[in-house]
Amino acid sequence: MRNYTQFYIDGRWVDPVSPKTADVINPATEEVSGQISLGSPADVDRAVVAARRAFPAYGESSVGERIELLEAIQAEYLRREAQLGEAIMVEMGAPASLANGFHTMLGKGHLGTAIEVLKDFRFEEQRGPTLIRKEPIGVCGLITPWNWPMNQTCVKIFPALAAGCTMVLKPPQLAPYSAQILAEILHEAGVPAGVFNMVQGQGSVIGAALSRHEDVDMISFTGSETVGVQIQKDAADTVKRVGLELGGKSAWIVLDDASLAANVAGATAGMMGNSGQTCSAGSRLLVPSSRMEEVRKVAAQAANGVTVGDPAGNFAMGPVVSRSQYDVIQQFIETGIDEGGELIAGGLGRPDGLDRGWYVKPTVFVGDNDMVIAREEIFGPVLVIIGYEDIDDAVRIANDSNFGLGGYVSGEDVEQCRTIARRLRTGAIWVNGGFDFHAPFGGYKRSGNGREWGEYGFHEYLEIKSIIG
């Protein structure tokens, strides 16, 4: 049992102002795995006061001092990386190989990237008679989700630290353990008191208090569109900056060539990674209508080949994060069936042999872009295959969405893939795979605003000053 009932404020672990706890449920067993405290606006006030008090000194710290601090954090992160992976496996059900692999690697990668960018980042630039200066924005409220807990937390904390900001982190209530360990890492690495603060609790309480707080200069939020809209409303009265990375319904376009079968199989299996709980997942697979029969066989075989089971075992997919998430996904699957979608893999209920835990069958429909399951973000292992007649039709279908976070194009002609990618109204497009910590990530349309990752992630936490003459 993990009991994390204190908050990290002003360099110390402190008790909540008004003690109140909540159980944390292991999604693989449906059993209580620990407890956290639920904070209040009074706890937020204490954390913001500490961050405001620490800002003048930390905001004026040198680049060399910040690099030294980030490198100390890096050493401590590496020392405790296995503990982070174990926490992620327990809190949100990621398979051990994924929790100890890509999950923790992402946090480590964002930290290394922040150090790399900071070493060459120009905080001042002379342009003619004007000195352009980039200064830390101030106190930042960081609100993070449960689906990629290290990625989404580290992609905010480390650029903010590099930029010279102080901060208050509100980790996800459903997956709080890894954030607790990360706070311990920052403390052991010697982050000055008040620079980093953390208050656990409910988003509707802690997130709202941060968003409305007069002494918070910026909010960075990753999560659902509904909550993002509310944060903007809450922040409006204080005219603070709000960065949002919201939902997605990303299209994966597979070209009509000799690699189609391999690309369909890869896209299908890829959709099931992290139990489909990825905002940029390619949940709409667009394929040539003339080869739909072949696509059905390949996609069904790939989905049926995804092993599901205990995160501690040798399985490709674990449970989804909670009972409520499981129920929502089941409702979407039932909706897809009622809409007349052709179910070629998976379906309702748990996989055979799994009677406990929030496990979902890797599910694939063949349908069209007007279906609810093709319009709304399901956030589970549910793929919708849609046929297209030609490239123009594929681009039209891909862009026919309220979202614009991610996209994928796969085919043997790389230049054709890139030409298609240029036409997609979405923030990041992967052409035949690839990965880059320096590539800016963020959304068009209702997928949000602002950019994270690499140098572009620094700009979220900086103000621009002109010194003229």
Residues annotated as catalytic are: 245
Strands 284-288 and 166-170: unpaired
Q: How far is CA 281 from CA 249, 420, 441, in A?
A: 7, 18, 13
For residue 209, the cross-strand partners are none
Are the beta carbons of 372 and 342 closer than 8 angstroms?
no
Residue 150's nearest CA partner among 120, 177, 184 is: 177
Give the Cα separation of 114 and 162 in Å (integer): 7
Sign of the torsion formed by the C-alpha atoms of 300, 302, 304 and 310? negative
Joined tokens for residue 207:
């997130």
Give the Cα separation of 84 and 177 in Å (integer): 8
Are the beta carbons of 311 and 93 closer than 8 angstroms?
yes
Are the beta carbons of 175 and 153 closer than 8 angstroms?
no
Are the beta carbons of 451 and 297 closer than 8 angstroms?
no
Q: How far is CA 444 from CA 144, 278, 429, in A?
A: 20, 17, 12
Residue 286's nearest CA partner among 407, 446, 443, 434 is: 407
For residue 445, the cross-strand partners are 403
The per-residue DSSP string of 229-260 comes to HHHHHHHHTTT-EEEEE-----EEEE-SSTTH
Are the beta carbons of 339 and 369 closer than 8 angstroms?
no
